[in-house]
């Protein structure tokens, strides 16, 4: 490229710059090799190089996501989180220390605490789903696999994993195993000075509190502070560790 530094955003940090430079070098080498090492500077060639950079970065991201699943499966099987010097009391707390996203923590906790042990016990090949091609499908099926494992349903687990293996895209798995649910109400979260996060939800009916609590189970550690009926609404206030301080629909 005419000016390699044009790719590097100001103040991006050394890690980002190094990643961009590595992608640029690899994409340029591959592209020039395909064009018999023609001279740099052609706009069409630069376009090919940047497109290849995007493709390489996406492939690496897919591999890194699968690597997280493989690491958690290993940690869960060996119970390595118990041996950490920081004295983690659960796999979930172990994963929190890695600064993973809330959704990733929930999925990996279900994978390590419930799905992998269940599949290993019954000789079900969960590792076959830990590939870059199948990982997006597996993520869409995590909730269904968790329910099947908790219900000791071997056949359902095998059926879900077969869908994960054969589905051509994640949308097919999502449509089959993720149902659209009516909103239960609205909620907001506030971070306290001691680091805890409080979720306050205005819920639509009396059953909604139990529904929200069940959905939180397994994903976050929480303590019920108060749940009461105020007029036509039910108010649920929970101390939640894994939540973002933002107003979002609850459901």
Q: How far apart are CA 19 and CA 2, in angstroms?
A: 19
The whole model's pTM is what? Answer: 0.64
What would the mean pLDDT of 229-246 be, rounded to a whole number?
Answer: 44
- The string of pLDDT tens digits covering residues 137-159 is 999 999 999 999 999 999 999 99
pLDDT band for position 48 (cuts 50, 70, 90): confident
Sign of CA dihedral 56, 59, 63, 64: positive
Is the pLDDT reported for residue 95 higher than 80? yes
Q: 3-state SS string over 197-223?
A: EEEEEEECCCCHHHHHHHHHCCCCCEE
- Name the maximum alpha-carbon separation found in the chain: 75
Is the pLDDT reported for residue 217 higher than 80? no
pLDDT band for position 114 (cuts 50, 70, 90): very high
Polymer length of the chain = 251
The whole-number pLDDT of residue 13 equals 74
If you average pLDDT over each of 36-50, 72-86, 210-224, which comes out highest? 72-86
Nearest Cα neighbor of 198 from 249, 251, 250, 245 is: 245
What would the mean pLDDT of 180-200 be, rounded to a whole number?
Answer: 69
The whole-number pLDDT of residue 219 equals 55
- The string of pLDDT tens digits covering residues 23-37 is 889 988 888 888 775
Q: How far apart are CA 40 and CA 49, in angstroms?
A: 11
Q: 3-state SS string over 3-38?
A: CHHHHCCCCCCHHHHHHHHHHHHHHHHHHHHHCCCC
- Non-local (6+) Cβ contacts of 196 within 8 A are 239, 240, 241
pLDDT band for position 238 (cuts 50, 70, 90): very low
pLDDT band for position 235 (cuts 50, 70, 90): very low
């Amino acid at each position: 490229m005419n000016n390699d530094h044009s790719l590097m955003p100001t103040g991006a940090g050394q890690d980002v710059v190094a990643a961009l430079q590595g992608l640029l070098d690899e994409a340029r080498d591959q592209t020039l090799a395909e064009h018999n090492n023609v001279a740099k500077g052609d706009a069409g060639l630069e376009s090919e190089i940047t497109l290849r950079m995007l493709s390489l970065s996406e492939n690496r991201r897919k591999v890194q996501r699968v690597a997280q699943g493989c690491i958690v499966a290993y940690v869960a099987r060996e119970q390595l989180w118990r041996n950490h010097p920081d004295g983690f009391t659960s796999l979930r707390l172990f994963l929190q220390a890695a600064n993973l996203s809330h959704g990733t923590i929930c999925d990996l906790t279900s994978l390590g605490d419930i799905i992998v042990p269940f599949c290993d016990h019954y000789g079900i090949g969960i590792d076959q789903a830990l590939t870059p091609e199948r990982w997006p499908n597996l993520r869409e099926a995590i909730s269904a696999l968790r329910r099947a494992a908790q219900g000791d349903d071997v056949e359902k687990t095998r059926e879900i994993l077969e869908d994960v293996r054969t589905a051509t895209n994640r949308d097919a798995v999502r449509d089959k195993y993720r149902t659209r649910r009516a909103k239960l109400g609205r909620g907001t979260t506030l971070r306290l000075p001691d680091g805890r996060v409080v979720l306050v939800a205005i819920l639509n009916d009396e059953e909604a509190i139990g529904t929200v609590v069940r959905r939180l189970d397994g994903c976050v550690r929480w303590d019920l502070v108060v749940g009461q009926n105020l007029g036509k609404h039910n108010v649920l206030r929970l101390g939640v560790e894994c939540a973002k301080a933002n107003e979002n629909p609850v459901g």
